[in-house]
A and B are shown apart, each in its own frame.
Chain A
Amino acid sequence: MFSIDVALKSLPLLLGASVWTIVYSLSSVAIGFCIGTLMCAAGLSQSPVLRGIAAFYVSFFRGVPLLVQLLLSYYCLPLIGINVPSSVAAVGTLALCTGAYIAEILRGGFLGIPAGLIEAARMVGLSRAQILTRIEVPMAVRFTLPSLVNETTMMVKASSLISVVGVLELTRLAQNIATSTFQPLEIYLTAGVIYFVINAAITFVGSLVERGFRAEKAA
């Protein structure tokens, strides 16, 4: 029997937990964006060492399932003497994982930047770091925004995996409520709707940003 009542009663609790889902997924995308930018720049650099590091990083974090990565960090970090809260380890792992994908997304954007724009920046004395943050990243983001928004929604969904390492977020709480109320259908359906709404909001914000960028094009 489907009970609307159970779904409605669980809603406030699930909404509370969804805040953590948003915090974990968006912070891992933000950190992952920085990692991805650096790895992308490393992958396109002159140095064979940097290129090697970037290639290994991307192939590892794209090649190993995120769930395995989470379990590895959960069990291995304490072994090598790193004791951090499991939420921190989980966000770190999510960030490293999405960073690999973002590095690949940005690569196309970086390669699309006309060389002359970089030369112009060098000629007015911008440093390498300033060129990266003020010219290359803003332009690459404009070229790749739809893919970046897509990656963000993927991470919102992937954050449900961190429930297996005991971090409280939307899926973990839904599991807890489901096992105590014996009403899994209502609870998981509610959780699913919340994920959907979060991602709808992210997509909407993405389209607003895209419209903002379009203002820079011919009026």
Chain B
Amino acid sequence: MSEQTAAGGRPIIDVKGVWKRFGTVDVLKGIDLSIQKSEVTCIIGPSGSGKSTLLRCIAFLEEYSEGEIYIEGELLGFSLENGKRRRVSDAEVARVRRNVGFVFQQFNLWPHMTALENVAAPLRLARGIPREDAAKRARAMLDKVGLSARADAYPSQLSGGQQQRVGIARALAMEPHIMLFDEPTSALDPELVGEVLQVMRDLAREGMTMAVVTHEMGFAAQVADKVVFIDRGVIAVSGSPEQVFRDNDNPRLRQFLQNYFERNVFWQSGDETPADAPAL
């Protein structure tokens, strides 16, 4: 493909017929998904449905068993020779996914480095940016997530929400073209979820391309351009938030949303919905 078509409607991520097997268990069974530039895609589904596995395959943290994943037009993880696919080197994997940022459920900050170092070290090591410039850029990134005051704190001295914001800053510092979020708020105390979602909202507003595996239905409804419901390894429903949350009558999806809603309702008074009930 030429560079001209790259600027056109080519998706940033193109997942084609992807299967993932762990031993004899099929976790993903033929996933097709494409993500366009500046699009926010929220991936929802019951636990064990394969949504996190899909995200990890897109980052090549898991090797997918079959199918193809293209990142900005380049096949990820494999080369095709005469229709046979061969695993490429780790360095080649790193090159193809260089513009992919990943945010983990467990933050995964390096505990022996300060917040600033967590953001600056990859800039120095992976991009060869001189120490001072890297520190400057890292400070700007921490500022962006509202944490410039905690630059010298170690991860253990930060709250979960703060750690996750550092995790986002670390990924953003590499200037990714797409950010993948793997249940970014699931490990957080409820009162800390908001600050992380706010950072993600701001990112979406700036036009960042994002794929978010989440249980935050309110976030998905407000921010997503596309919602994908994964069930038992297949994409059961996908569409706009309205199409998925309101209009679709897939029984598995209705059941999933019902469970979610019941778990979050703590006040019931006849047919009147309390003002602070979770937006669905």
Contact = CB atoms under 8 A, between A and B. Distances in A.
**B is a partner of A:** yes
Interface stretch (A101-109, A122-130, A164-172): A122-130
B224 interface: no
B164 to A, nearest CB: 12
B91 interface: yes
Given A124-B171, A216-B154, A138 B112 contact: yes
Contacts of B122: 121, 124-126
Interface string A27-63: 0000000000000000000000000000000000000
Given A119-B104, A123-B59, A134-B121, A216 B126 contact: no
Nearest to A138: B112
A116 B112 contact: no
A171 B126 CA distance: 48
Interface in B95-116: 97-98, 100-102, 104, 106, 108-112
Nearest to B121: A134
B156 A123 contact: no
Nearest to B119: A124
A126 B61 CA distance: 14
Contact of A125 (B98, B104, B157): B98
A117 interface: yes
A218 B98 contact: no
Contacts of A123: 59, 61, 97, 100-102, 171
Interface string A83-118: 000000000000000000000000000000010110
Given A116-B104, A119-B104, A134-B121, A124 B110 contact: no
A124 B122 CA distance: 6
Contacts of B104: 116, 119-120
A71 interface: no
A126 B125 contact: yes
Given A124-B170, A125-B94, A130 B125 contact: yes
A125 B100 CA distance: 10
Nearest to B170: A124
Interface of A is mostly: helix
Contact of B106 (A116, A121, A126): A116
A184 to B, nearest CB: 48
A139 B94 CA distance: 23
Interface string B138-178: 00000000000000001011000000000100110010000
B156 A217 contact: yes
A142 interface: yes
A122 B109 CA distance: 13
A135 interface: yes
Contacts of B90: 128
A219 interface: yes
B127 interface: yes
B147 to A, nearest CB: 16
Contact of B111 (A121, A128, A134, A216): A216
Contacts of A217: 154, 156
A116 B171 contact: no
Given A123-B61, A124-B170, A218 B125 contact: no
A216 B125 contact: no
Contacts of B170: 120, 124
A52 B265 CA distance: 58
A215 B152 CA distance: 12
A119 B107 CA distance: 11
Contact of A218 (B94, B108, B126, B156): B156
Contacts of A135: 110
Task: Give the interface centre of A117, A122, A123, A138 by most chain B CB atoms within 10 Å.
Answer: A123
A213 B156 CA distance: 12
Q: What are the 3 tightest A-B residue pairs by CB atom distance, in nearest-first order?
A: A125-B126, A124-B122, A120-B108
13 contacts: A117-B108, A120-B102, A120-B108, A123-B97, A125-B94, A125-B98, A125-B126, A125-B174, A126-B122, A127-B125, A135-B110, A139-B111, A216-B111
Interface of A: 114, 116-117, 119-128, 130, 134-135, 138-139, 142, 213, 215-219
Interface of B: 59, 61, 90-91, 94, 97-98, 100-102, 104, 106, 108-112, 121-122, 125-127, 154, 156-157, 167, 170-171, 174
